[in-house]
Amino acid sequence: MKFRVERDVLADAVAWAARTLPTRPALPVLAGLVLTAEGDFLTLSSFDYEVSARVELPVSVTEPGTTLVSGRLLADIARSLPAQPVVIESEGTRIVITCGRSSFTLPTLPVEDYPQLPAMPATSGTVEGALFAAAVAQVAIAAGRDDTLPTLTGIRVEIEGGNIVLAATDRYRLAVREFNWQPDSPKISTNALIPARTLADTAKALASVDQVFIALGAQGTGEGLIGFEGNGRRTTTRLLDGEFPKYRTLLPSEAATVATVDTSELADAVKRVSLVAERNTPVRLAFEGSEVVLRAGAGDDAQASEAVACNIDGDGLEIAFNPTYLLDGLTSVDRAITRFSFTQATRPAVLSGLAEAGDKPSDEYRYLLMPVRLTG
Protein backbone atom coordinates (compact mmCIF):
# COMPACT_ATOMS: atom_id res chain seq x y z
CA MET A 1 0.00 0.00 0.00
CA LYS A 2 1.25 3.48 -0.85
CA PHE A 3 -0.59 6.78 -1.20
CA ARG A 4 -0.08 10.55 -1.02
CA VAL A 5 -2.41 13.02 0.68
CA GLU A 6 -2.44 16.59 2.01
CA ARG A 7 -1.64 16.87 5.72
CA ASP A 8 -4.79 18.82 6.73
CA VAL A 9 -7.08 16.44 4.84
CA LEU A 10 -5.45 13.41 6.48
CA ALA A 11 -5.44 14.88 9.99
CA ASP A 12 -9.11 15.83 9.77
CA ALA A 13 -10.15 12.39 8.52
CA VAL A 14 -8.06 10.49 11.06
CA ALA A 15 -9.48 12.61 13.90
CA TRP A 16 -13.02 11.73 12.77
CA ALA A 17 -12.38 7.99 12.57
CA ALA A 18 -10.31 7.84 15.77
CA ARG A 19 -12.78 9.73 17.96
CA THR A 20 -14.82 6.59 18.66
CA LEU A 21 -11.85 4.36 19.54
CA PRO A 22 -12.28 2.69 22.95
CA THR A 23 -10.03 3.83 25.79
CA ARG A 24 -9.70 0.27 27.06
CA PRO A 25 -10.29 -2.00 24.07
CA ALA A 26 -11.47 -5.55 24.73
CA LEU A 27 -9.06 -6.73 22.03
CA PRO A 28 -5.78 -5.05 20.96
CA VAL A 29 -6.92 -4.82 17.32
CA LEU A 30 -9.92 -2.67 18.35
CA ALA A 31 -7.48 0.15 19.18
CA GLY A 32 -6.54 0.29 15.51
CA LEU A 33 -7.74 2.14 12.42
CA VAL A 34 -8.18 0.25 9.16
CA LEU A 35 -6.61 2.07 6.21
CA THR A 36 -7.80 0.92 2.78
CA ALA A 37 -6.29 2.57 -0.30
CA GLU A 38 -8.12 1.73 -3.51
CA GLY A 39 -8.80 3.60 -6.74
CA ASP A 40 -8.48 7.30 -5.95
CA PHE A 41 -9.67 7.07 -2.36
CA LEU A 42 -8.51 6.20 1.12
CA THR A 43 -11.04 4.78 3.57
CA LEU A 44 -10.43 5.00 7.32
CA SER A 45 -12.63 2.93 9.59
CA SER A 46 -12.98 1.91 13.24
CA PHE A 47 -15.34 -0.39 15.18
CA ASP A 48 -15.54 -1.58 18.79
CA TYR A 49 -18.68 -3.75 18.42
CA GLU A 50 -20.78 -0.81 19.67
CA VAL A 51 -19.86 2.23 17.56
CA SER A 52 -18.39 2.30 14.07
CA ALA A 53 -16.91 5.21 12.13
CA ARG A 54 -15.95 5.41 8.48
CA VAL A 55 -14.60 8.26 6.35
CA GLU A 56 -13.59 8.34 2.71
CA LEU A 57 -11.22 10.93 1.26
CA PRO A 58 -9.54 11.48 -2.12
CA VAL A 59 -5.84 10.58 -2.26
CA SER A 60 -3.25 9.71 -4.88
CA VAL A 61 -2.87 5.93 -4.69
CA THR A 62 0.35 4.40 -6.02
CA GLU A 63 -0.18 0.89 -4.61
CA PRO A 64 -3.59 -0.24 -3.35
CA GLY A 65 -3.81 -2.17 -0.11
CA THR A 66 -5.19 -2.46 3.41
CA THR A 67 -3.47 -2.18 6.77
CA LEU A 68 -4.29 -1.73 10.47
CA VAL A 69 -2.39 0.69 12.73
CA SER A 70 -2.80 2.24 16.17
CA GLY A 71 -5.53 4.84 15.74
CA ARG A 72 -4.67 7.26 18.53
CA LEU A 73 -0.97 7.26 17.64
CA LEU A 74 -1.78 7.90 13.98
CA ALA A 75 -4.10 10.75 15.01
CA ASP A 76 -1.40 12.34 17.18
CA ILE A 77 1.17 12.04 14.39
CA ALA A 78 -1.14 13.37 11.66
CA ARG A 79 -2.02 16.38 13.80
CA SER A 80 1.63 17.26 14.47
CA LEU A 81 3.04 16.86 10.94
CA PRO A 82 4.28 19.94 9.06
CA ALA A 83 1.95 21.51 6.49
CA GLN A 84 3.23 19.48 3.55
CA PRO A 85 2.02 16.47 1.53
CA VAL A 86 2.13 13.14 3.41
CA VAL A 87 3.22 9.82 1.92
CA ILE A 88 2.23 6.61 3.70
CA GLU A 89 3.48 3.23 2.48
CA SER A 90 3.63 -0.31 3.78
CA GLU A 91 6.95 -2.07 4.39
CA GLY A 92 6.32 -5.61 5.58
CA THR A 93 4.74 -5.47 9.04
CA ARG A 94 5.22 -1.72 9.33
CA ILE A 95 4.07 1.48 7.68
CA VAL A 96 6.28 4.48 7.02
CA ILE A 97 4.85 8.00 7.24
CA THR A 98 6.89 10.67 5.48
CA CYS A 99 6.09 14.40 5.49
CA GLY A 100 8.77 16.87 4.49
CA ARG A 101 11.81 16.00 6.58
CA SER A 102 9.72 14.15 9.20
CA SER A 103 9.48 10.35 9.13
CA PHE A 104 7.65 7.88 11.39
CA THR A 105 7.64 4.09 11.33
CA LEU A 106 4.67 2.34 12.95
CA PRO A 107 4.09 -1.38 13.51
CA THR A 108 0.91 -2.77 12.00
CA LEU A 109 -1.71 -4.95 13.68
CA PRO A 110 -3.18 -8.16 12.18
CA VAL A 111 -5.92 -6.75 9.93
CA GLU A 112 -7.38 -10.23 9.40
CA ASP A 113 -8.42 -10.27 13.09
CA TYR A 114 -10.39 -7.03 12.78
CA PRO A 115 -14.21 -7.34 12.93
CA GLN A 116 -16.31 -6.44 9.90
CA LEU A 117 -18.07 -3.11 10.16
CA PRO A 118 -21.88 -3.26 10.38
CA ALA A 119 -23.84 -2.30 7.29
CA MET A 120 -25.45 1.13 7.28
CA PRO A 121 -29.23 0.91 7.86
CA ALA A 122 -31.54 2.30 5.20
CA THR A 123 -31.78 6.10 5.16
CA SER A 124 -34.92 7.53 6.78
CA GLY A 125 -34.44 11.24 6.07
CA THR A 126 -32.17 14.27 6.32
CA VAL A 127 -31.63 17.26 8.61
CA GLU A 128 -29.42 20.33 8.44
CA GLY A 129 -26.11 19.64 10.16
CA ALA A 130 -25.98 22.85 12.23
CA LEU A 131 -29.58 22.43 13.42
CA PHE A 132 -28.97 18.81 14.35
CA ALA A 133 -25.79 19.61 16.28
CA ALA A 134 -27.43 22.46 18.21
CA ALA A 135 -30.51 20.41 19.11
CA VAL A 136 -28.49 17.42 20.34
CA ALA A 137 -26.20 19.66 22.41
CA GLN A 138 -29.21 21.27 24.11
CA VAL A 139 -30.50 17.88 25.22
CA ALA A 140 -27.28 15.94 25.89
CA ILE A 141 -26.41 18.02 28.97
CA ALA A 142 -29.35 16.46 30.84
CA ALA A 143 -28.41 12.84 30.07
CA GLY A 144 -27.25 10.69 32.96
CA ARG A 145 -23.65 9.62 33.38
CA ASP A 146 -24.23 6.70 35.73
CA ASP A 147 -23.59 3.51 33.75
CA THR A 148 -25.51 1.50 36.35
CA LEU A 149 -28.63 3.21 34.95
CA PRO A 150 -27.94 2.74 31.22
CA THR A 151 -31.39 3.85 30.10
CA LEU A 152 -30.78 7.32 31.52
CA THR A 153 -27.44 7.64 29.69
CA GLY A 154 -29.29 7.80 26.39
CA ILE A 155 -31.19 10.38 24.37
CA ARG A 156 -34.66 9.33 23.32
CA VAL A 157 -35.42 10.17 19.71
CA GLU A 158 -39.09 10.28 18.71
CA ILE A 159 -39.94 10.70 15.04
CA GLU A 160 -43.44 11.46 13.84
CA GLY A 161 -43.65 12.50 10.20
CA GLY A 162 -41.61 15.66 9.70
CA ASN A 163 -41.10 16.28 13.43
CA ILE A 164 -38.32 15.00 15.71
CA VAL A 165 -38.36 15.21 19.52
CA LEU A 166 -35.19 14.64 21.54
CA ALA A 167 -35.38 14.04 25.30
CA ALA A 168 -32.86 13.22 28.03
CA THR A 169 -32.98 13.10 31.83
CA ASP A 170 -30.73 12.20 34.75
CA ARG A 171 -33.64 12.37 37.25
CA TYR A 172 -32.63 15.86 38.42
CA ARG A 173 -33.37 17.67 35.16
CA LEU A 174 -35.05 16.97 31.86
CA ALA A 175 -34.28 18.54 28.48
CA VAL A 176 -36.67 18.31 25.52
CA ARG A 177 -36.06 19.74 22.04
CA GLU A 178 -38.35 19.64 19.00
CA PHE A 179 -37.34 20.42 15.42
CA ASN A 180 -38.28 19.62 11.84
CA TRP A 181 -36.50 17.37 9.36
CA GLN A 182 -37.09 15.97 5.86
CA PRO A 183 -38.25 12.34 6.15
CA ASP A 184 -38.19 9.99 3.16
CA SER A 185 -41.73 8.98 4.12
CA PRO A 186 -44.21 11.47 5.64
CA LYS A 187 -45.86 8.56 7.47
CA ILE A 188 -42.77 7.55 9.44
CA SER A 189 -43.45 6.95 13.14
CA THR A 190 -40.74 5.47 15.32
CA ASN A 191 -38.46 6.03 18.31
CA ALA A 192 -34.98 5.01 19.43
CA LEU A 193 -32.78 5.33 22.51
CA ILE A 194 -29.26 6.38 21.52
CA PRO A 195 -26.17 6.62 23.78
CA ALA A 196 -25.95 10.34 24.56
CA ARG A 197 -22.18 10.62 24.40
CA THR A 198 -22.01 8.98 20.98
CA LEU A 199 -24.86 11.06 19.59
CA ALA A 200 -23.40 14.30 20.95
CA ASP A 201 -19.93 13.60 19.52
CA THR A 202 -21.36 12.60 16.16
CA ALA A 203 -23.69 15.59 15.87
CA LYS A 204 -20.89 18.00 16.81
CA ALA A 205 -18.55 16.46 14.24
CA LEU A 206 -21.23 16.81 11.53
CA ALA A 207 -22.22 20.38 12.45
CA SER A 208 -20.61 21.86 9.32
CA VAL A 209 -22.33 19.40 6.95
CA ASP A 210 -25.19 20.79 4.86
CA GLN A 211 -27.37 17.68 5.23
CA VAL A 212 -27.02 14.81 7.68
CA PHE A 213 -28.58 11.53 6.59
CA ILE A 214 -30.25 9.70 9.46
CA ALA A 215 -30.56 5.95 8.91
CA LEU A 216 -32.96 4.04 11.13
CA GLY A 217 -33.46 1.07 8.85
CA ALA A 218 -36.70 -0.77 8.19
CA GLN A 219 -39.43 0.38 10.56
CA GLY A 220 -36.88 2.14 12.72
CA THR A 221 -35.17 -1.04 13.93
CA GLY A 222 -32.05 -1.21 11.80
CA GLU A 223 -31.33 -4.42 13.73
CA GLY A 224 -30.66 -2.34 16.83
CA LEU A 225 -28.57 0.22 14.93
CA ILE A 226 -28.88 3.84 13.92
CA GLY A 227 -26.57 5.51 11.43
CA PHE A 228 -25.58 9.07 10.54
CA GLU A 229 -23.81 10.14 7.37
CA GLY A 230 -22.66 13.36 5.76
CA ASN A 231 -19.86 14.64 3.56
CA GLY A 232 -18.25 11.21 3.15
CA ARG A 233 -18.37 10.48 6.88
CA ARG A 234 -20.45 7.72 8.36
CA THR A 235 -21.04 6.38 11.85
CA THR A 236 -23.31 3.73 13.35
CA THR A 237 -24.12 2.94 16.95
CA ARG A 238 -26.10 0.25 18.71
CA LEU A 239 -29.29 1.39 20.37
CA LEU A 240 -29.83 1.10 24.11
CA ASP A 241 -32.34 -1.34 25.52
CA GLY A 242 -34.79 -0.44 28.24
CA GLU A 243 -37.84 1.74 28.82
CA PHE A 244 -37.22 5.48 28.87
CA PRO A 245 -39.21 7.36 31.56
CA LYS A 246 -42.59 8.74 30.52
CA TYR A 247 -41.19 12.25 30.59
CA ARG A 248 -44.20 14.07 29.13
CA THR A 249 -46.11 13.58 32.39
CA LEU A 250 -43.41 15.63 34.16
CA LEU A 251 -43.98 18.74 32.06
CA PRO A 252 -46.71 20.87 33.70
CA SER A 253 -49.47 22.19 31.44
CA GLU A 254 -50.04 25.34 33.50
CA ALA A 255 -47.96 27.74 35.58
CA ALA A 256 -48.91 29.72 38.68
CA THR A 257 -45.97 32.11 38.29
CA VAL A 258 -44.01 33.11 35.20
CA ALA A 259 -40.80 35.15 35.32
CA THR A 260 -38.71 36.45 32.42
CA VAL A 261 -35.12 37.57 32.90
CA ASP A 262 -32.12 38.50 30.77
CA THR A 263 -30.26 35.22 30.25
CA SER A 264 -26.69 36.51 30.28
CA GLU A 265 -27.27 38.80 33.28
CA LEU A 266 -28.74 35.96 35.32
CA ALA A 267 -26.03 33.50 34.24
CA ASP A 268 -23.29 35.94 35.26
CA ALA A 269 -24.99 36.52 38.61
CA VAL A 270 -25.30 32.77 39.26
CA LYS A 271 -21.58 32.33 38.51
CA ARG A 272 -20.63 35.08 40.95
CA VAL A 273 -22.95 34.09 43.77
CA SER A 274 -22.13 30.38 43.50
CA LEU A 275 -18.45 31.13 44.21
CA VAL A 276 -19.27 30.92 47.91
CA ALA A 277 -21.49 27.85 47.55
CA GLU A 278 -19.84 24.76 48.98
CA ARG A 279 -20.04 21.46 47.14
CA ASN A 280 -23.69 20.42 46.61
CA THR A 281 -24.88 23.69 48.18
CA PRO A 282 -27.74 25.32 46.27
CA VAL A 283 -28.23 28.90 45.15
CA ARG A 284 -31.49 30.46 46.33
CA LEU A 285 -33.57 32.60 44.00
CA ALA A 286 -36.26 34.87 45.47
CA PHE A 287 -38.62 36.17 42.77
CA GLU A 288 -40.46 39.20 44.11
CA GLY A 289 -41.64 42.52 42.67
CA SER A 290 -39.51 43.38 39.68
CA GLU A 291 -36.36 41.47 40.54
CA VAL A 292 -34.90 38.12 41.47
CA VAL A 293 -32.46 38.07 44.39
CA LEU A 294 -29.83 35.34 44.36
CA ARG A 295 -28.22 34.16 47.61
CA ALA A 296 -25.68 31.51 48.55
CA GLY A 297 -23.92 30.60 51.78
CA ALA A 298 -25.25 30.75 55.31
CA GLY A 299 -24.26 31.00 58.97
CA ASP A 300 -20.54 31.55 59.60
CA ASP A 301 -19.63 30.54 56.03
CA ALA A 302 -18.96 32.96 53.20
CA GLN A 303 -22.14 34.50 51.81
CA ALA A 304 -23.11 36.32 48.63
CA SER A 305 -26.19 37.96 47.17
CA GLU A 306 -27.08 39.78 43.97
CA ALA A 307 -30.27 41.18 42.47
CA VAL A 308 -31.19 40.94 38.80
CA ALA A 309 -34.13 42.76 37.19
CA CYS A 310 -36.93 40.55 35.91
CA ASN A 311 -40.64 40.62 35.05
CA ILE A 312 -42.89 38.50 37.24
CA ASP A 313 -46.44 37.45 36.42
CA GLY A 314 -48.06 35.80 39.42
CA ASP A 315 -47.19 35.35 43.08
CA GLY A 316 -43.59 35.74 44.21
CA LEU A 317 -41.73 32.70 45.45
CA GLU A 318 -38.36 31.52 46.71
CA ILE A 319 -36.77 28.45 45.19
CA ALA A 320 -33.30 26.85 45.26
CA PHE A 321 -31.36 25.09 42.52
CA ASN A 322 -28.07 23.29 42.03
CA PRO A 323 -26.03 26.13 40.46
CA THR A 324 -24.31 23.89 37.91
CA TYR A 325 -27.61 22.49 36.67
CA LEU A 326 -29.11 25.98 36.56
CA LEU A 327 -26.19 27.31 34.50
CA ASP A 328 -26.47 24.35 32.14
CA GLY A 329 -30.09 25.27 31.54
CA LEU A 330 -29.39 28.96 31.00
CA THR A 331 -26.63 28.12 28.53
CA SER A 332 -28.77 25.61 26.63
CA VAL A 333 -31.77 27.93 26.35
CA ASP A 334 -29.57 29.91 23.95
CA ARG A 335 -31.89 32.90 23.83
CA ALA A 336 -31.59 36.50 25.05
CA ILE A 337 -34.48 36.05 27.51
CA THR A 338 -35.10 33.03 29.75
CA ARG A 339 -38.67 32.28 30.81
CA PHE A 340 -39.18 30.50 34.17
CA SER A 341 -42.52 28.74 34.67
CA PHE A 342 -43.37 27.69 38.25
CA THR A 343 -46.24 25.78 39.80
CA GLN A 344 -44.87 26.02 43.36
CA ALA A 345 -41.50 26.30 45.10
CA THR A 346 -41.30 22.58 45.83
CA ARG A 347 -42.09 21.52 42.27
CA PRO A 348 -39.84 21.54 39.19
CA ALA A 349 -39.41 24.76 37.21
CA VAL A 350 -39.44 24.84 33.42
CA LEU A 351 -36.95 27.04 31.57
CA SER A 352 -37.55 28.09 27.97
CA GLY A 353 -36.20 30.83 25.76
CA LEU A 354 -37.47 34.01 24.12
CA ALA A 355 -35.57 35.93 21.44
CA GLU A 356 -36.73 39.18 23.06
CA ALA A 357 -39.12 40.36 25.75
CA GLY A 358 -42.76 40.14 24.73
CA ASP A 359 -42.27 37.22 22.35
CA LYS A 360 -44.84 34.44 22.32
CA PRO A 361 -43.64 31.44 24.40
CA SER A 362 -42.40 28.45 22.40
CA ASP A 363 -42.18 24.78 23.30
CA GLU A 364 -39.27 24.25 20.91
CA TYR A 365 -36.90 23.76 23.86
CA ARG A 366 -37.79 23.10 27.47
CA TYR A 367 -35.46 22.45 30.39
CA LEU A 368 -37.17 21.13 33.51
CA LEU A 369 -35.14 21.50 36.69
CA MET A 370 -35.84 19.93 40.08
CA PRO A 371 -35.50 22.34 43.02
CA VAL A 372 -33.34 21.66 46.06
CA ARG A 373 -35.26 21.46 49.33
CA LEU A 374 -34.81 24.59 51.43
CA THR A 375 -33.83 23.90 55.05
CA GLY A 376 -34.30 27.30 56.60
pLDDT in tens, 75-102: 999 999 999 999 999 999 999 999 999 9
Q: How large a percentage of the chain has pLDDT more than 90?
A: 88
* Length of the chain, in residues: 376
> In this structure, is residue 376 part of a structural domain?
no
Confidence at 355, pLDDT banded by 50, 70, 90: confident
Residues 298 and 317 in one domain: yes
> In this structure, is residue 375 part of a structural domain?
no
Task: Flag whether pLDDT at 22 surpasses 70.
Answer: yes
Q: How large a percentage of the chain has pLDDT more than 70?
A: 98
Confidence at 222, pLDDT banded by 50, 70, 90: very low
Residues 347 and 299 in one domain: yes
Which residues, listed in sequence order, are joined to residue 349 by a DSSP beta bridge? Answer: 369
Q: What is the spatial distance between Cα 64 and Cα 41, in angstroms, rounded to a whole number?
A: 10
Q: DSSP secondary-structure letter at 124?
A: E
Residues 146 and 107 in one domain: no
Residue where a domain terminates, one of 192, 222, 248: 248
Question: Average of pLDDT values for 308-327?
Answer: 96
> What per-residue confidence (pLDDT) applies to 376?
53
Task: Flag whether pLDDT at 37 surpasses 70.
Answer: yes
Residues 303 and 244 in one domain: no
Q: How many domains does the chain have?
A: 3
Residues 239 and 256 in one domain: no
Which residues, listed in sequence order, are joined to residue 190 by a DSSP beta bridge? Answer: 159
> What per-residue confidence (pLDDT) applies to 219?
43
Residues 321 and 339 in one domain: yes
On whether the CB atoms of residues 354 and 366 are closer than 8 A, the answer is no
Residues 259 and 207 in one domain: no
Confidence at 217, pLDDT banded by 50, 70, 90: low
HSE-CB at 341 with a 13 A cutoff on CA atoms is 16
> What per-residue confidence (pLDDT) applies to 73?
97
> In this structure, is residue 118 part of a structural domain?
no
pLDDT in tens, 114-149: 999 999 888 999 999 999 999 999 999 999 999 889
Residues 70 and 170 in one domain: no
Question: Average of pLDDT values for 174-189?
Answer: 96
> In this structure, is residue 160 part of a structural domain?
yes
Mean pLDDT of the chain: 93
On whether the CB atoms of residues 298 and 284 are closer than 8 A, the answer is no
Task: Flag whether pLDDT at 25 surpasses 70.
Answer: yes
Confidence at 220, pLDDT banded by 50, 70, 90: very low
Question: Average of pLDDT values for 224-245?
Answer: 94
Containing structural domain, residue 241: 123-248
> What per-residue confidence (pLDDT) applies to 223?
59
Residue where a domain terminates, one of 248, 282, 301: 248
Residues 47 and 76 in one domain: yes
Residue where a domain terminates, one of 248, 269, 285: 248
